Amino acid sequence: MARISSNTALRKKVSKELVKRVKRVVNNAYAPYSGISVGAALYCANGNIYTGCNIENSSYSLTTCAERVALFKAISEGERKFLLLLLYSPQVDSILPCGACLQVFSECAPEIIIATMNANNEFHFYPLQTLLTKPFKLSK
Protein backbone atom coordinates (compact mmCIF):
# COMPACT_ATOMS: atom_id res chain seq x y z
CA MET A 1 0.00 0.00 0.00
CA ALA A 2 3.02 2.24 -0.26
CA ARG A 3 1.69 4.13 -3.29
CA ILE A 4 -1.28 5.39 -1.31
CA SER A 5 0.43 6.20 1.98
CA SER A 6 3.65 7.71 0.57
CA ASN A 7 1.92 10.73 -0.97
CA THR A 8 -0.62 12.59 1.16
CA ALA A 9 -2.18 14.42 -1.80
CA LEU A 10 -2.59 11.18 -3.73
CA ARG A 11 -4.02 9.43 -0.66
CA LYS A 12 -6.64 12.17 -0.23
CA LYS A 13 -7.56 12.07 -3.91
CA VAL A 14 -7.90 8.28 -3.88
CA SER A 15 -9.84 8.40 -0.63
CA LYS A 16 -12.31 10.94 -1.98
CA GLU A 17 -12.77 8.98 -5.19
CA LEU A 18 -13.30 5.69 -3.35
CA VAL A 19 -15.84 7.27 -0.99
CA LYS A 20 -17.69 8.85 -3.91
CA ARG A 21 -17.83 5.58 -5.82
CA VAL A 22 -18.82 3.38 -2.89
CA LYS A 23 -21.63 5.74 -1.91
CA ARG A 24 -22.89 5.74 -5.48
CA VAL A 25 -22.72 1.97 -6.04
CA VAL A 26 -24.46 1.09 -2.75
CA ASN A 27 -27.62 2.53 -4.31
CA ASN A 28 -27.52 -0.24 -6.93
CA ALA A 29 -27.68 -3.02 -4.32
CA TYR A 30 -30.49 -5.54 -4.62
CA ALA A 31 -31.23 -6.49 -1.02
CA PRO A 32 -34.97 -7.25 -0.64
CA TYR A 33 -34.40 -10.05 1.90
CA SER A 34 -31.84 -8.69 4.35
CA GLY A 35 -32.59 -5.00 3.82
CA ILE A 36 -28.84 -4.37 4.07
CA SER A 37 -27.27 -2.66 1.08
CA VAL A 38 -23.50 -2.92 0.72
CA GLY A 39 -21.16 -1.13 -1.65
CA ALA A 40 -17.53 -1.98 -2.32
CA ALA A 41 -14.75 -0.12 -4.11
CA LEU A 42 -11.56 -2.00 -4.94
CA TYR A 43 -8.40 0.04 -5.55
CA CYS A 44 -5.82 -1.67 -7.77
CA ALA A 45 -2.05 -1.15 -7.86
CA ASN A 46 -2.29 0.58 -11.25
CA GLY A 47 -4.83 3.12 -9.93
CA ASN A 48 -7.95 1.53 -11.40
CA ILE A 49 -11.04 1.29 -9.22
CA TYR A 50 -13.72 -1.38 -9.53
CA THR A 51 -17.02 -1.25 -7.67
CA GLY A 52 -19.59 -3.80 -6.64
CA CYS A 53 -22.83 -4.07 -4.69
CA ASN A 54 -24.54 -7.00 -3.03
CA ILE A 55 -27.10 -8.88 -5.10
CA GLU A 56 -29.44 -11.09 -3.10
CA ASN A 57 -31.56 -14.01 -4.24
CA SER A 58 -34.43 -15.86 -2.62
CA SER A 59 -32.19 -18.92 -2.74
CA TYR A 60 -29.73 -17.42 -0.26
CA SER A 61 -26.76 -19.49 -1.40
CA LEU A 62 -26.98 -17.73 -4.78
CA THR A 63 -26.55 -14.29 -3.20
CA THR A 64 -23.33 -12.47 -4.11
CA CYS A 65 -21.56 -10.03 -1.81
CA ALA A 66 -20.43 -6.57 -2.93
CA GLU A 67 -16.77 -7.26 -2.31
CA ARG A 68 -16.70 -10.37 -4.51
CA VAL A 69 -18.59 -8.54 -7.28
CA ALA A 70 -15.87 -5.83 -7.28
CA LEU A 71 -13.06 -8.38 -7.17
CA PHE A 72 -14.50 -10.55 -9.92
CA LYS A 73 -15.07 -7.51 -12.15
CA ALA A 74 -11.44 -6.51 -11.66
CA ILE A 75 -10.09 -10.00 -12.31
CA SER A 76 -12.27 -10.36 -15.41
CA GLU A 77 -10.59 -7.19 -16.75
CA GLY A 78 -7.11 -8.60 -16.16
CA GLU A 79 -6.28 -7.01 -12.80
CA ARG A 80 -4.12 -9.04 -10.42
CA LYS A 81 -2.65 -6.55 -7.93
CA PHE A 82 -5.00 -5.09 -5.33
CA LEU A 83 -4.19 -2.61 -2.58
CA LEU A 84 -7.36 -1.56 -0.77
CA LEU A 85 -11.01 -2.58 -0.51
CA LEU A 86 -13.46 -0.02 0.88
CA LEU A 87 -16.82 -1.28 2.20
CA TYR A 88 -19.87 0.78 3.10
CA SER A 89 -23.42 0.09 4.23
CA PRO A 90 -25.83 2.81 5.33
CA GLN A 91 -27.60 0.26 7.55
CA VAL A 92 -24.58 -1.29 9.33
CA ASP A 93 -21.86 0.62 11.15
CA SER A 94 -18.50 -0.35 9.63
CA ILE A 95 -19.61 -3.56 7.92
CA LEU A 96 -16.99 -6.30 7.55
CA PRO A 97 -16.69 -9.01 4.87
CA CYS A 98 -18.22 -12.42 5.45
CA GLY A 99 -16.06 -15.54 5.71
CA ALA A 100 -16.62 -16.50 2.07
CA CYS A 101 -15.36 -13.11 0.88
CA LEU A 102 -12.37 -13.28 3.21
CA GLN A 103 -11.50 -16.71 1.83
CA VAL A 104 -11.72 -15.52 -1.79
CA PHE A 105 -9.59 -12.46 -1.05
CA SER A 106 -7.03 -14.61 0.78
CA GLU A 107 -6.37 -16.40 -2.50
CA CYS A 108 -6.65 -13.51 -4.95
CA ALA A 109 -5.39 -10.57 -2.85
CA PRO A 110 -3.64 -11.89 0.28
CA GLU A 111 -1.93 -8.57 1.10
CA ILE A 112 -5.00 -6.35 0.73
CA ILE A 113 -6.09 -3.81 3.32
CA ILE A 114 -9.82 -3.80 4.03
CA ALA A 115 -11.29 -0.44 5.01
CA THR A 116 -14.77 -0.01 6.41
CA MET A 117 -16.66 3.25 6.46
CA ASN A 118 -19.73 4.25 8.46
CA ALA A 119 -22.40 6.82 7.66
CA ASN A 120 -20.29 9.55 9.32
CA ASN A 121 -17.35 8.82 6.99
CA GLU A 122 -15.31 7.34 9.84
CA PHE A 123 -12.89 4.62 8.75
CA HIS A 124 -11.35 1.47 10.19
CA PHE A 125 -8.51 -0.36 8.43
CA TYR A 126 -7.75 -4.08 8.67
CA PRO A 127 -5.04 -6.10 6.97
CA LEU A 128 -6.77 -9.18 5.55
CA GLN A 129 -4.59 -11.47 7.69
CA THR A 130 -6.09 -9.98 10.88
CA LEU A 131 -9.63 -10.87 9.77
CA LEU A 132 -8.83 -14.35 8.43
CA THR A 133 -5.90 -15.77 10.33
CA LYS A 134 -6.00 -19.31 8.91
CA PRO A 135 -7.40 -19.39 5.36
CA PHE A 136 -8.15 -22.69 3.66
CA LYS A 137 -5.39 -23.72 1.26
CA LEU A 138 -5.03 -26.83 -0.84
CA SER A 139 -1.73 -28.56 -0.32
CA LYS A 140 -0.03 -29.42 -3.58
Q: Which residues are catalytic?
A: 67
User: CA torsion angle for 28, 30, 36, 38 (degrees, to 10)?
Assistant: -40
Residue 6: strand, helix, or coil: coil
Angle ∠(123,70,107) on CA atoms, nearest 5: 90
Q: How far is CA 118 from CA 64, 132, 139, in A?
A: 21, 22, 38
Give the span between the Cα atoms of 117 and 91, in whole angstroms. 11
